[in-house]
């Protein structure tokens, strides 16, 4: 059986297996260098705890769209939770069962790294790449610099979105060329968008436009590209439900409305791409660590740049139409990496570096497979010049590492010479095998050389140990602390992490804490308690938490129905020298006095007393039903009055009184309230739904209906083609060696 790439299906399957094994071995090499590499920064502080919380609630039959007690980060329809992404549900469902979160996060990322690599493999094959070279590109992709040190190590949704995007690309080419229907395009694009991270969604749109343009040039007709764009548009319609809440809530978040800013933070000059094949490269652009970066984030693959010398560019020109989509995509994303610094929610252009790696790997490896130069040994001097350019560019960015860069350049040269020798004596498969085999050692050296990673929070790994070390604190807790005040030696369970929570750490403990890790925090709430993205606060937070809100006469902590206030001793060293606020008392937690001082209410918990009713004025209000999304209250008022709820004023709230719509208000720009008319005696229902949810649901139905219509058209077209060519409808039995592509 002959495949699209010109090789056998068995060969494609065999090299696909090599890709899978190569990724597994590469991950093992990275873990030898740093066992926590895939459990660092946002993974340990944001995603893994989020999986635990989501899993517990899904097991209870609740999708956690809104958790009012989490306040700052409680609106999960605008967080990176993947609420509408079925694979994410599976990850979350399993998470509460997993004790070792570092191990679980690593295994989850390994699965997606394999999905990503196989997606790149499919793209190369669809453009006629040879299986051996397609395997080289595919195995290299998960270990390219930005993916290895950021997306795989920390930013999980970027990894998953990129993984699904590659399959959407391959499926898009197949659909446009009549080798598959529109459903795979729709499914993979939907999975890309519904990870709830906007970068892959926008990158997927660029991919589809590039493929459509490329197919017009390749096929010299419009119809296939129009059908592809329709399929992509229907997928975008279905994905609208994921992003509408964020768009319609933007005005009350830190992100605000769309704007374009041209700052230099994490914008990468195009010249840094000349470092793409030197493993030691430390590029020069502005980030959290200054101008010279501590990690080789622009690195793509050791062979990529030198391999340009071994392409027969004269013959390759004949394929420019076929590969125009790859070139167009690569040029667009390369331009994006250089700025502007922010386009609405799309900030930090360096995040697009994996797309540059994707385009470059596909383009170079397809060309090497389809148009290799005749005598590679005669091309060695040209490859040497390219390696010298890598060395010069890397030395100019980080001259203090000249000897290290020289050693790396020497290693690349030796590997290249060995590859050329193997190709000449043993054939292409051996040369590609060497290229794949070199990937894990290079990844090991890169990760080992930058240890310890500058991003790690050093949060504990085992949930059982976290829960055992932490004090029992039922109810709703407001912590006032600053993560920056924890000394390095205190970042352990026997230190601060046995008493304090930051980011989403409280979700690991299955405790209810105000705040959490959020890039989309509520602006007004953050201002009220000067609370930041990691749930840290400023020293003024204590005064502000116990300040009296003038229109209700209640303190902020009372309006929030907080049961406990935990003070970090480093932030409030003299807290217990002062008497507690009225109605509160200091409580001792033996073994935790070094880190925290704790205030609790004298009358016990109030968070479970009367639903989420936190204040009334001229109204008798009795809770008769409560859920995350809805408060049902029996209300009575002779002269009219107000009911204030311990709910943050996110867009999406509505109220009814005995079934009739009634206006809502927001007290102190934070707390949802309802003003009741005189002579009220009835049932007040305050409910929240994601803003735009009806439009989103309709858009999903439109997307499903649209792709169904396209699929019907595809099936009928296939039948018509078979009838015209005399082929009977029943399909032959599938070849067991044929890979699913």
Q: Quick one: which of 283, 204, 275, 285 has its CA closest to 238?
A: 204
Tell me whether strands 564-568 and 476-480 are parallel, antiparallel or unpaired. Answer: parallel
* Residue 486: DSSP 8-state: S
pLDDT in tens, 103-148: 999 999 999 999 999 999 999 999 999 999 999 999 999 999 999 9
Q: What is the rounded distance in angstroms from the CA atom of residue 120 to the CA atom of residue 105?
A: 22
- Say what the pLDDT of residue 7 is: 61
In SS3 terms, 433-457 reads as: HHHHHCHHHHHHHHHHHCCCCCCCC
Cis? peptide before 392, omega within 30° of 0: no
* Residue carrying the six token digits 């049902």: 632
Q: What is the rounded distance in angstroms from the CA atom of residue 617 to the CA atom of residue 642?
A: 5
Helices 428-437 and 9-33: angle between axes, nearest 10 degrees? 20
**Residue 203's pLDDT band (cuts 50, 70, 90):** very high
pLDDT at 643 > cutoff 90: yes
Dihedral-angle region of residue 324 (phi above 0 means left; psi in -120 to 50 means alpha; beta otherwise): alpha
pLDDT at 177 > cutoff 60: yes
Rg of the chain, C-alpha, whole Å: 29
pLDDT at 2 > cutoff 80: no
Q: What is the rounded distance in angstroms from the CA atom of residue 125 to the CA atom of residue 355?
A: 18
Q: What is the rounded distance in angstroms from the CA atom of residue 623 to the CA atom of residue 629?
A: 14
Q: pTM of the prediction?
A: 0.94
Q: What are phi and psi of 330, to 5 degrees?
A: -65, -40
Please tell me the least confidently modeled range out of 153-157, 650-654, 734-738: 734-738
- Say what the pLDDT of residue 596 is: 97
Determine contact, residues 571/502, Cβ cutoff 8 Å: no
Tell me whether strands 342-343 and 260-261 are parallel, antiparallel or unpaired. Answer: antiparallel
Determine contact, residues 15/737, Cβ cutoff 8 Å: no
In the sheet where 260-261 sits, what is the strand order? 260-261, 342-343, 346-347
C-alpha to C-alpha distances, 173 to 177, 179, 296, 590, nearest whole angstrom: 6, 8, 32, 64
- Say what the pLDDT of residue 272 is: 86
Residue 594 CA, distance from chain mean position: 36
pLDDT in tens, 365-408: 999 999 999 888 899 999 999 999 999 999 998 999 999 999 99
**Residue 275's pLDDT band (cuts 50, 70, 90):** confident
pLDDT at 740 > cutoff 90: no
Q: What is the mean pLDDT of the chain?
A: 93
Q: Please report the DSSP string for 174-221 in residue order.
A: HHHTTSS-SHHHHHHHHHHHTTS-HHHHHHHHHHHHHHHHHHHHHHS-
pLDDT at 297 > cutoff 80: yes
- Say what the pLDDT of residue 737 is: 35
CB neighbour list of residue 617: distance below 8 Å, 6 or more residues apart:
552, 641, 642
- Say what the pLDDT of residue 429 is: 96
**Both tokens of residue 6?**
């010109």
Kindly list the structural domains of the chain, giving each domain's residue range(s) and its CATH number in brackets, ordered by start: 9-33+100-272+281-437 (no CATH), 463-599 (no CATH), 613-688 (2.60.40)
């Amino acid at each position: 059986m002959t495949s699209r790439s010109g090789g056998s299906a068995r060969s494609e399957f065999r090299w696909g297996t090599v890709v899978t094994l190569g990724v597994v071995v590469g991950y093992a090499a990275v873990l030898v260098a740093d066992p926590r590499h895939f459990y660092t920064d946002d993974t340990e502080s944001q995603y893994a705890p989020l999986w635990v919380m989501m899993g517990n609630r899904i097991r209870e039959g609740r999708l956690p769209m809104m958790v009012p007690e989490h306040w700052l980060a409680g609106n999960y329809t605008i967080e990176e939770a993947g609420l509408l992404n079925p694979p994410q549900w599976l990850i979350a469902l399993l998470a509460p069962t997993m004790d070792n979160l570092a191990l679980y996060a690593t295994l989850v990322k390994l699965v997606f790294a394999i999905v990503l690599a196989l997606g790149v493999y499919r793209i190369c094959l669809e453009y006629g790449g040879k299986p051996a070279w397609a395997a080289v590109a595919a195995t290299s992709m998960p270990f390219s610099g930005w993916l290895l040190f950021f997306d795989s190590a920390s930013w999980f949704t970027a990894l998953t979105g990129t993984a699904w995007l590659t399959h959407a690309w391959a499926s898009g080419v197949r659909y446009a060329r009549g080798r598959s229907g529109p459903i795979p395009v729709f499914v993979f694009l939907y999975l890309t968008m519904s990870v709830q991270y906007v970068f892959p969604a926008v990158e997927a749109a660029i991919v589809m436009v590039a493929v459509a343009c490329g197919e017009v040039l390749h096929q010299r007709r419009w119809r296939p590209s129009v059908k592809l764009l329709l399929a992509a548009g229907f997928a975008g319609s279905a994905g609208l439900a994921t992003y509408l809440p964020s768009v319609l809530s933007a005005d009350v978040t830190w992100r605000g409305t769309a704007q374009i800013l041209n700052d230099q933070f994490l914008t990468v000059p195009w010249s840094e791409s000349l470092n793409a094949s030197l493993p030691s490269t430390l590029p020069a652009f502005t980030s959290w660590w200054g101008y010279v970066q501590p990690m080789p984030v622009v690195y793509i693959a050791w062979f990529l740049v030198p391999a340009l010398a071994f392409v027969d560019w004269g013959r390759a020109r004949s394929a420019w139409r076929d590969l125009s989509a790859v070139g167009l995509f690569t040029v667009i994303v390369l331009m994006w990496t250089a700025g502007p610094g922010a386009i609405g929610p799309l900030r930090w252009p360096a995040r697009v570096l994996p797309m540059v790696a994707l385009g470059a790997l596909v383009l170079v490896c397809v060309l090497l497979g389809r148009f290799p130069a005749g005598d590679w040994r005669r091309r060695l001097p040209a490859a040497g010049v390219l390696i010298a350019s890598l060395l010069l560019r890397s030395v100019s960015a980080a001259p203090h590492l000249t000897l290290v860069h020289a050693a790396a350049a020497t290693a690349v040269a030796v590997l290249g010479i060995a590859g050329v020798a193997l190709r000449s004596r043993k054939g292409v498969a051996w040369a590609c095998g060497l290229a794949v085999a070199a990937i894990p050692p290079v990844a090991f050296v890169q990760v080992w050389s930058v240890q310890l990673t500058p991003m790690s929070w050093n949060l504990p790994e085992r949930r059982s140990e976290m829960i055992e070390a932490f004090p029992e604190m039922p109810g709703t807790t407001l912590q006032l602390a600053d993560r920056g005040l924890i000394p390095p030696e205190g970042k352990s369970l026997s230190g601060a992490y046995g008493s304090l929570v930051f980011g989403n750490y409280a979700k690991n403990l299955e405790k209810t804490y105000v705040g959490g890790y959020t890039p989309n925090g509520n602006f007004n709430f953050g201002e009220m308690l000067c609370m930041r993205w990691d749930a840290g606060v400023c020293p003024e937070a204590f005064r502000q938490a116990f300040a009296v809100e003038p229109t209700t006469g209640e303190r902020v902590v009372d309006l929030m129905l907080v049961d406990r206030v935990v003070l970090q001793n480093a932030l409030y060293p003299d807290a217990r020298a002062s008497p507690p606020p009225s109605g509160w008392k200091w409580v001792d937690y033996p073994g935790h006095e070094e880190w925290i001082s704790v205030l609790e209410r004298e009358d016990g918990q109030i968070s479970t007393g009367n639903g989420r009713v936190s204040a009334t004025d001229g109204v008798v209000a009795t809770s008769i039903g409560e859920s995350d999304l809805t408060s049902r209250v029996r209300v009575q008022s002779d002269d009219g009055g107000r009911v204030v709820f311990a709910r943050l004023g996110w867009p999406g709230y509505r109220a009814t009184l005995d079934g009739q719509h009634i206006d809502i208000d927001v007290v102190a720009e934070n707390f949802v309230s309802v003003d009741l008319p005189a002579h009220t005696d009835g049932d007040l229902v305050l409910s929240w739904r994601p803003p735009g949810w009806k439009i989103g649901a309709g858009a999903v139905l439109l997307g499903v209906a649209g792709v169904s219509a396209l699929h019907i058209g595809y099936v009928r077209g296939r039948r018509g083609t078979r009838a015209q060519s005399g082929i009977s409808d029943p399909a032959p039995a599938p070849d067991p060696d044929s890979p699913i592509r």
